[in-house]
Structures are given as structure tokens and as C-alpha cells.
Chain A
Amino acid sequence: MHGLMNRSLQSFVEDVYGSARWMRVAEVARLDFTSFEAMLDYDDSVTLTVIDAATRVLRKPRADLLEDLGIYLVSHPNMARIRRLLRFGGAGFVDFLDSLDDLPDRVRLAVPDLVIPTLELAELEPDRYRLRCGATPEGMVHVILGVLRALADDYGALVFLDLADGPVDGAWTIEIAVLSTSFAEGRSFELASVI
């Protein structure tokens, strides 16, 4: 798994629970280092071991932990860059949903060797969508769910998200109902803002 993913997981534990807890996670996972390098690759099994260790150290179910990670990626000040890069997807939440098909390509533009699952959005009826996440590394769909929740909030939209039972053939489905696109103020986004 790409170092960026592992590093995000580490930053999440450090920023939300403190570095002592992260050290404990690294210990339980029996890592022979204490910090992931964002620009290096790691074996997938390392990531899975760290996630397992985190669920034990933080006493949190795996799905909740990963969803919190997704929320953290969009909403934590330390991750402002990721939020900004995602907000380039569109001016409003619906625009953003429409741009999800492009997201894997967009991610590849930024980090050529970072692979994220294919995302296919289908509009079932006005304001109801179904997002199909192609074969994902285990647990990734929960992270995506968290990212979507936090982004809806970021745009000021009121949205219901529901993870359908799955996976079916390795793919997960997220049902999305947009109840209001201007439910709250939303956070501002300047294209040209320099961070």
C-alpha cells in the first residue's frame, strides 16, 4: 500500500488520539519503525496489521475507525491539502458527486503510483445517487464513506449516506440521498488560496 495511505492512518491516530497512542499501535503491530514515510511503498499486509492494531488499542470497531479516518482526512486542519484537492472537484456537492468518476484519474495526476478504486456514480432519480466502488483494498469503502460525509458537511449540504450490504464481487455500493445542498453555510473554498 502506498506510503501516503499508511502515513494518513498514522497522522489520524496521532492527531486525534495523541502520539503516545500511535506509539502503542506501532508496538502492537510490531512495526520495526515508528513512522511511515509518505513517499515509500509498504506491503499491504503492513497496513492491515496496523489497522488491526489500531482497532485494539483504540477499542473501536474497524468500520467506525476507518470512517473516522475518512472524516479526519477532509476536516482536520492538518489535512487541509487533501480537502482542497477534493474541493477542486466541483463548486457544489452535486458537482462534486458528478466529478467522482474522474477522481481516480485526478489522484493519479497528483501521485501516479497511488491507486484508488474506480468510482461509478449513477443518478437514480433527482437527488438520489448510487456510488459503486470497484474492488477496493479491504476497508477502503469505509474511508470513502467518511470522506463523503465530511465533504457534504464541508459544502453545507444535508446528505444521507448508506452503505449497502456487500461486497458483491468485491465491489461496494453507497446509496446517497441529497436532501438539501444549502442546509448550512459550508466552508469557503478559494481556488487560488495558497496553503
Chain B
Amino acid sequence: MSVVGMQTQALDTLLPMHVLLDRSARIIHVGPAFRRQAGTRSYMGRSALKVFAVSRPADIVDAESLLGAVGRRLHLRLLEGRGVQFRGVLVSLSEDGGALINLTLALSELSDLGGGGLTNSDFSPTDMTVDMLYLIEAKAAAMAESRRLIDRLQGAKSAAEEQAVTDMLTGLRNRRALETVLRRMLADNVPFSLCRVDLDFFKQVNDTEGHAAGDLVLEAVARALNEVTRSCDTVARVGGDEFVVLFDAMTDRTALERIGERMIEKLERPVLFEGRPCRISGSLGTAISTDYAQPEAERMMADADRALYQSKQEGRGRHTIFSPDAPLPVPQLGDLRRAAT
């Protein structure tokens, strides 16, 4: 069976986007889909190499080499107007020395089908191009919907994190939880003490052993603080290596001093990281609510801070209880930072 014997009408149905060439590679017939795609460009009777640039194979330079490229995968591009790209394959029509090139749009043209306004009927029923388009659209829609779901879940996650009251690493309360408890204690007018705990030498552990060691130490600190406090107390991590303990209904200086000592003792127990001991200590500063006529959160925090600064100044691993009768000097922010490192 020879293709030449085939009616061009049959060819047009089977291969709507084909181009027929004569023996000198001039275009003598095109399928209806190519006609629509070409639009107002001129092609009939012209050399195929004047209508298309053949980018691959590279050895196609003239009519002869084009007609000889039988069965090879061709990459073509329209020379006139928008450079619509095609993939093609050529077969010889041996009777007259001409050839047939069957074309399909290159993948890069799929998004708008080469801009030629092709319709369903421009594709053979056996051609999967339209199904590809369908798939591209359907998948894009599904992907967009998935992205929206992910965005919503992300938003929900952030909202949940914002409402969280627990510090993820240590399981202690976080700053928000601390503020809530503190506010409630002040509102209920219950006596309490506020103790700031600042780790000493923690930065060195982080710097020399890495963050994994640092995290391990922080977890040990959380355990130590939980061990020396009661369940009615509040232990919160309020910064990288800063903690605050609220002692519920405890305002006795001697008792607080004893607890402070035990706390420092426990903090100084070395933590093993990969067999090596990591040693830290802690400086404490405490303010007692009953020392104030009108205890306020900010004031007590600041006073506990000053007491803490005093502990640092005195050589770390110490506990200072703030006394309104013998006010401590107000530390400058820079001093505090220097003292902390």
C-alpha cells in the first residue's frame, strides 16, 4: 500500500497537521490543522526550509538533506510571525521523490496551542493532544486546590502556635503563659515571688559543642527547675537561656534562699553530651510581691532583673533577693548583656 495512492482527504483526516513536499521540498499540500495554525503566513509552493527553521537534526541544511532525514525526529519552527514550534517526522513518497512531514505542536506550545485558535476538530480522534490539554487543566486545578488547602493548614498551624502556652523544646510554659498567670496572681492579690533564672556559660556550651548539646542542656535545666519547684508554681522559659519561676504563696526569704541554693546546685550538675560533660550554672534574681504596697508585673520583673544583675556581678552561680529598703543600682542594658555572656 502506498501513501501516494491515498486520497488527500483521507490524509487530512488521519494526519490533520501534515505537510506534503514535492521532490524539491516545496510545500504542495497541508492538512487542515496546519492550515489553521499557519493562518495568514504564506507557505503554499514555497520551500519547506523557507517556511520552517529546522533546529534538529543539525545536519539539515538544504532540500536534499531534509528529504533524506527519513524517520528522524525533527524539531521545526515557523519562520514567519510567531515562531511556533513543532515536532515532526518525515517519510519519503518514493513514487515521485516527494515527502510527507507529520507535525505535532511542541510541548512548549501546549499552554495556548501555538496561538492559532485550534479547536477539537483540528485533532484526529486518535490524537491524545486534547486529552493532554484536559489533563493539564485538571491537574492545574487540583494543584491550586491543594495549595489552598496547604495555605489554610499553614494558617491554622500558625494560629495554634500563637495560642500555644507551652515551650516546644522544654515543655515548660512559655512567655505568654507566664504573663497570663502573673496577671491572674496580681488580680487575685495572692502573695508570690518572682524569680528570674539566667543560665551562666550556656553560650560556651552552644559555641563549643553545638546546638544539639545546647538543647540537651536546656532540657536538663527544665528538669532541674521542675524538681525544685512545686506543682502549684509556674516555671516558664521566656528566652533562649532565660527562665522565670513564680512561687505561689511563698514570700519567706529564708525559704526562697534555700530553694535558690538547691536550684543552682542542680543546674551545676554536668550534662553528658556524647560522653563529654557540659557544665553550666545559673544566676538568680528574685522579687517578692509582699515587698510592695501595690505589686505590679513590670515593676517586679524589673526589680528581679536588677537582683539578677547583682548576682552576675558578684561572680555568677548566685541568688540575690531584691529588697526595696536597699535598692540595687539600675543596670544599663549593655551591662546586663555583657554580664550574661
Q: What is the 8 Å Cβ interface bit string for chain B, positions 198-237, against chain A (1 contact, 0 not)?
A: 0000000000000000000000000000000000000000
* Interface flag for A16 (CB, 8 Å): no
CA distance A95 to B119 in the complex (A): 13
Please tell me if the beta carbons of A91 and B146 are within 8 angstroms of each other in the complex.
no
Q: B121 interface residue, CB < 8 Å from A? A: yes
Chain A contact patch, size range: 20 to 34
Asked if B145 is at the interface of the complex by the 8 Å CB criterion, the answer is yes
Given contacts A37-B149, A39-B146, A39-B149, contact A191 B118 (CB under 8 A): yes
The count of residues in chain B whose C-beta lies closer than 8 Å to any C-beta of chain A is: 23
Distance between B317 CB and nearest chain A CB, rounded to angstroms? 53
Distance in angstroms from A182 CB to nearest chain B CB is: 15
Cβ proximity bits B246-284 to A, threshold 8 Å, 1 near / 0 not: 000000000000000000000000000000000000000
- Residues in chain B near residue A85, CB distance under 8 A: 134, 137-138, 141
B133 cross-chain contacts in A, Cβ below 8 A: 88, 191-192
Per a CB cutoff under 8 Å, which of A38, A88, A189, A194 touches B149? Answer: A38
A106 interface hit (Cβ, 8 Å): yes
A189 CA / B113 CA spacing, docked (Å): 14
The distance in angstroms between the C-alpha atoms of A190 and B112, with both chains bound, is: 9
A84 within 8 A of B: yes
Residue pair A110, B146 in contact (C-beta under 8 Å): no
CA distance in complex: A90, B145 (Å): 26
- Most A CB within 10 A of own CB, among B112, B118, B120, B142: B120
Q: Which A residues are CB-close (under 8 A) to B130?
A: 88, 191
Instruction: Given A192-B113, A194-B112, decide whether A84 and B121 contact each other with a Cβ distance below 8 A.
Output: no
Residues of B participating in the A interface, judged by any CB pair closer than 8 Å: 111-113, 115, 117-121, 130-131, 133-135, 137-139, 141-142, 145-146, 149, 152
| 23 A-B residue pairs with CB within 8 Å | A37-B152, A38-B149, A81-B137, A85-B134, A85-B137, A85-B138, A88-B120, A88-B130, A88-B133, A88-B134, A91-B120, A106-B131, A106-B134, A109-B134, A109-B135, A110-B138, A111-B138, A190-B117, A191-B119, A191-B133, A192-B111, A192-B117, A192-B133
